[in-house]
Structure 1
């Protein structure tokens, strides 16, 4: 959790408090911003991206937190929105159900997620909520039935004809799982374009010790509630150093992108941290 001084809090919240306690302020943080999904477009350029993959699209989505707040109806609309972006690859970076053992509609999830179309594959990793509440096996079953390949300290390669490849690594959840960087990344090579999927972003400095081009994470919700001049009021464990957006990690060449996610947890509010879909376009460049 961030430490906020009284002066800083008053500076950031003074003009905002009247808005938040107003009827419109409540409606905005409860029913407007949480439903307004931003689409963020980024380009990934490298000489190691296979020529055949140049122009291909990756869609990352994260942190749905299915519950009475994020309903199956919203999930159906999300799938339609993802398909409208014409992805070639789809990555889900964890936290599907807010409280897995309390959720009564888990059987209705796979027929919805299965409709996501991605000709080069759909891949997912565990988040802390996916392991939490004895949800580990349930999440694995849901993703399998949804035709997502669950990467748990494992990898997959998409080969090019030019002796290049896109390598996708998936680490187990940092908080409640057993991520094994040595086992998973020991064969990483700078000859290939490598992407690591892991729910919590703050493991990035450890991932950056390996020849990885990009880490994709979620977990933080962008703080879920931010204040002007302050930023996020609260950030979760392993999500305090990297909160949202694109970073270059600590004197390395590795990039990190932190997706703000789609749902909410604990409180059904978002302020200055709108939900997000991220679209990455692969771009092969000549050496």
Structure 2
């Protein structure tokens, strides 16, 4: 093999290795801050441009270090906002409290003028439900199976915590029974399939995670793998079978396979506007 052929082969091999390593070692680390304008039916005028920062699917554990997550939390805290919401799957391992006890002291550092509010995902229950709930309460972020009312003048906005569809799904009608029918309600649910469950009470917006956007999004095709029944629920703003807006964040960490391609992790910034 002459020198020219050797260099061509080496260059081709190097480029191939770089392309193969990009989804594992590069894009998975490129956490973006993405801002979305979200039209919300019945949003009170006083809450126009109410800003929510969402973190979801941190999956602390193998290949997702605490130092990496500390930087994510620091960046989330630096964003101008009204509240922070977290929609589950903070750990990766099963049947252990080690990662739960590691990540939650960092989660407790989340700050916003009107507070931080969290629900659990399926991995938090697979790790240890009781310990996860302990940290929800200790950090003051617990919205699981509860609600919180925000008031501006005479107008009100409600935040409701539905939890996880697979592990601790709650009766949505019961969760919202004390909320007046004409008032705006936003539901935190780990799994976006929650939006298609039977519920007589109206929801004006679901904020969800769980899908990671599929982690791999093939151009002109989309994600080949999505852990949801409704495959329309990949990432971004969607509509449920009932016509309800459903926002799904691509999240931070990984599950199933440790790669990201054309689907970078994100800190989602939701700016609420009045809509139909």
Report TM bin, short chain. 0.7 to 0.9
Q: Confirm or deny that 1:160 pairs with 2:152.
A: yes
Q: Confirm or deny that 1:117 pairs with 2:107.
A: no
Q: Confirm or deny that 1:180 pairs with 2:174.
A: no
Which of 40, 60, 63 is matched with 2:34 structurally? 40
CA distance in structure 1 between the partners assigned to 2:134 and 2:95 by the alignment: 14
Q: CA deviation at 1:39?
A: 2.0
Partner residue, 1:66? 60
Unaligned runs of 5+ in 2: 1-11
CA distance in structure 2 between the partners assigned to 1:208 and 1:249 by the alignment: 13
Q: Which moved more, 1:25-34 or 1:181-190?
A: 181-190
Which of 109, 131, 136 is matched with 2:129 structurally? 136
Partner residue, 1:12? none
Query: Is 1:202–1:240's contact at 8 Å kept on the other side of the alignment?
Result: no
Q: String of CA shifts for 1:171-207, please: whole Å, max 9, x gaps.
A: 1211122321221133444522210111111121336
Q: CA deviation at 1:147?
A: 3.2
Please show how residues 75-224 of structure 1 align to structure 2 within 5 Å: 75-102=69-96, 104-133=98-127, 135-148=128-141, 150-162=142-154, 164-206=155-197, 209-224=200-215
TM-score under structure 2 normalisation? 0.85
The secondary structure found in structure 2 opposite 1:22 is helix
Query: Is 1:169–1:196's contact at 8 Å kept on the other side of the alignment?
Result: yes
Change in CA separation of 1:256 and 1:210 when aligned onto 2, cut-off 3 Å:
same
- Greater Rg by CA: 2
Change in CA separation of 1:198 and 1:113 when aligned onto 2, cut-off 3 Å:
same
CA distance in structure 2 between the partners assigned to 1:230 and 1:54 by the alignment: 35
CA distance in structure 1 between the partners assigned to 2:30 and 2:211 by the alignment: 18
Change in CA separation of 1:202 and 1:46 when aligned onto 2, cut-off 3 Å:
closer
Q: Confirm or deny that 1:257 pairs with 2:210.
A: no
CA distance in structure 1 between the partners assigned to 2:163 and 2:41 by the alignment: 29
Q: String of CA shifts for 1:246-286, please: whole Å, max 9, x gaps.
A: 1122353x21101111000132111121111111123469x
Query: Is 2:173–2:201's contact at 8 Å kept on the other side of the alignment?
Result: no
The secondary structure found in structure 2 opposite 1:92 is strand
Query: Is 1:59–1:280's contact at 8 Å kept on the other side of the alignment?
Result: yes
Query: Is 1:201–1:217's contact at 8 Å kept on the other side of the alignment?
Result: yes
Which of 243, 261, 267 is matched with 2:257 structurally? 267
Q: CA deviation at 1:119?
A: 1.6
